[in-house]
Amino acid sequence: MNYYNEHTVLWLDGHIVKASEAKTDLYGQSLHYGYAVFEGIRSYRTAAGTTKIFKATEHFDRLKRSAEACNLPYPYTTPELIDATYEVLEKNQLQDAYIRPLVYAPANMSFNLNETSFTTIQTWAMAPFLGEKLLKVMTSSFQRPNPKGFNIEAKASGHYVNSILASQEAKAKGYDEALLTDMNGFIAEGPGANMFFEKDGRLFTPALGNILPGITRATVFEICRELSIPVEEGQFTPAQLARADAAFFCGTAAEVIGWDSIDGKAFPADWKDTLSRKVQLAYKDLVIEKQHQLEAI
C-alpha cells in the first residue's frame, strides 16, 4: 500500500510539509516505547458533492482526552485541527479519505515527562479496512489489556501491539480477523473495531470499561434509536455470541461489516435479512449525509 507519493503533503505543527521530505527523530520516545496517541478518522464525498469529515469534533476531542490521559503536551484546539485537516485534504485533492492525526514525543530515552510534543495529520485514500465480504472471525488467544494497567479508553499507540498480535494470529490461522475477550473472559472488541451481535430482534454490545469507546459504536446507538432497534450493553460470554443470529464489527476504518462465522460456526441468519444489515445501510447513508434513506428504512 502506498500511503503517499511525491506530491502528497501532511500537516506538522502548523506547517504543510511534503510527506516525502518530513522527518522524525530515531531517538524518539514514541518510536522506542510506543508512547504516542492517535486518531483514525474518515472524510467522505457527501451526496451533495462536498467534503465532510465524519464526526470531526468527536474524534479530535478524543485525541485531546487521549493525550491528556497519557500526559502528552497538547497545545491545539479541536477547531484548529479540524481546519488543518480540511486544508490537508484539499491540498491532497482527497474527498473520500482516511485521516490519521498523531501526537508524539521528542527524543527522550527516559520515562520522564516531556515539555513538548509533535502533532502531525496525514491523509490517504483507503478502502474499508476489513474489506466488504462477511468475515470469518476467530476468538483470539490474546485478551485486551487490563484497564488497571493501561488507560484503555485512550487511543495510545502502544496498545496496538496487542491488536497487531491478535490480528496476525487470526490471519495465520486462516481467519479474516480476531475477536478479543477482556481480562475476565467476556467478549470485548476486535483489534481495531467494536462489535455487536444480534439475537431475536435485539442488538447486544460489550459495555464500556474494557474497550475503546468507539465513535462508530456511539453512531450505531444513534441509528438504532432512529430505527427503533433495541440495543443492550452488558457483559457477554463467547457462548452467548456463539448462539447469536448475526454479528458485526464497527469502526471508522472498518465502517459496519458483518460476520460470516465465529470460530468456524456460521451465523444462522441470512445477512441481508438482519437488523445488522439495516444498521450497515443506514451507516453508509449517514456518512454521506443521505438522511432521507435513513428515515425510509
Is residue 136 among the annotated active site residues? no
Catalytic residue among 18, 23, 155, 265: 155
In the complex, the smallest distance separating the C-beta of residue 155 from ligand PMP, rounded to whole angstroms, is 6
Smaller CB separation from ligand PMP, 40 or 258: 40
Smaller CB separation from ligand PMP, 7 or 225: 225
Residues that bind ligand PMP (CB under 6 A): 40, 163, 189, 192-194, 212, 214-217, 251-252
In the complex, the smallest distance separating the C-beta of residue 156 from ligand PMP, rounded to whole angstroms, is 10
Q: Does the CA dihedral 174-175-180-181 come out positive or negative?
A: negative
Smaller CB separation from ligand PMP, 89 or 152: 152
In the complex, the smallest distance separating the C-beta of residue 25 from ligand PMP, rounded to whole angstroms, is 26
Smaller CB separation from ligand PMP, 8 or 163: 163
In the complex, the smallest distance separating the C-beta of residue 106 from ligand PMP, rounded to whole angstroms, is 25
Taking the alpha carbons at both ends of the chain, their separation in whole angstroms is 36
Smaller CB separation from ligand PMP, 193 or 294: 193
Question: With the CA atoms of 167, 173, 176 and 182 taken in that order, what torsion angle do they form, in degrees rounded to the nearest 10?
Answer: -50
Torsions phi, psi for 70 (to 5 deg): -105, 10
In the complex, the smallest distance separating the C-beta of residue 159 from ligand PMP, rounded to whole angstroms, is 7
Active site residues: 155
